[in-house]
Amino acid sequence: MTDCIFCSIIAGKIPSQKVYEDEYVYAFRDISPQAPVHILIVPKVHIESATNINSDNAYLVSKCFEAITKIAESENLNDGFRVITNSGKDAGQTVFHLHFHLLGGRPFGAGLV
Ligand code: AMP
Ligand code: ZN
């Protein structure tokens, strides 16, 4: 999709710190990390947000989570991690290409799930 920053990153038109890639998924370090490990996992196909997941593309969510397991291992997140997806304005979604924030490397404690 034109004018989508994550599509441009996937296409290599905008640089990123890639940590994982396969046929379906691309993952890279968040430019503004909120934890020692903060990685964005995105399907290569442009899906706007969680509300656009349907029976035709749901397998890509599974592919994202399979990637998350591999990345958590390679990043040594052996004590656990948090996965967040923001959907829509109230959630604070700023990039409208479905993505999962993988956060780890410190305890998050109680609050906000
Ligand atoms: P969200 O607010 O859930 O839509 O998350 C968007 C995330 O993308 C934010 O955490 C940003 O820091 C991150 N981000 C925006 N542009 C880039 C970029 N060029 N490279 C890496 N991360 C980015
Ligand atoms: Zn996109």
Give me the pLDDT at residue 112, please.
Answer: 85
Give me the pLDDT at residue 103, please.
Answer: 98
Give me the pLDDT at residue 1, please.
Answer: 62
Residues 6+ apart with CB under 8 A from 91: none
Residue whose CB lies within 8 A of the most ligand 1 atoms, among 94, 98, 102, 103, for a mutation test: 94
pTM listed for this prediction: 0.97
Residues in the chain: 113
Taking only the tens place, the pLDDT of each residue in 60-97 is 999 999 999 999 999 999 999 999 999 999 999 999 99
Give me the pLDDT at residue 29, please.
Answer: 98
Average pLDDT over residues 50-56: 98
Task: List the shell of residues around ion ligand 2, using CB closer than 5 Å.
Answer: 1, 4, 6-7, 46, 97
Residue 23 has pLDDT above 90, yes or no: yes
